[in-house]
Amino acid sequence: MQIEQGLLAEAKQHPSPNCDDRPDDISLLVVHGISLPPGEFGGPWIDALFTNTLDPEEHEYFQTIHTLKVSSHILIRRDGELIQYVPFNKRAWHAGESSFQDKACCNDFSIGIELEGTDEKPYTDNQYQQLAQLISDLQAAYPAIKAEHIVGHCDIAPGRKTDPGSAFDWPRLYGLLSKD
């Protein structure tokens, strides 16, 4: 995959206004899981959330989240499709209150990758393949992202977040990464 000026050439671009300049260098990668409404896949709702266009009338759950100003750098859908919301060289608003190795505000120094999924349902082969390739390419572009700096949202916001959840197969991801 090709990364130029913070953009992934292979990804569809859906720019989010929910980003700003980074105060720190990139050294962390955070894996998330998301589905909207919860447990449903394939709709336009993740795009709508990250672009501030989520209609609260479309689903009862949306009434509780439609005012959030959140984003991620990239989403990997169940079929492996890549959608980029924020250039990697900008700060996406994905981690919230968080800390890694005693350093707070993980958004300042991390890249957030959302996987379309839930904590309990296995992620797809396409997602693991795309994620492993993307991580390899991000590590080449941002060498401070070491293997031990690839974490789940649950690891940087324990007690507050659980994603990517028990269904995420970390050994499988590490196995794919070691083949590169």
Kindly list the catalytic residues: 114
Nearest to 74 by CA among 146, 2, 7: 7
- What's 107-163 look like in SS3? HHHEEEEEEECCCCCCCCHHHHHHHHHHHHHHHHHCCCCCHHHEEEHHHHCCCCCCC
SS3 content of the chain, % helix, strand, coil (to 5): 25, 20, 50
Using DSSP's 3-state secondary structure scheme, residue 90 falls into strand
Cβ-based burial of 33 (10 A; exposed 0-12, middle 13-18, buried ≥19): buried
Nearest to 152 by CA among 142, 143, 144, 162: 162
Structure tokens at 17: 């206004």
Structure tokens at 84: 């980029």
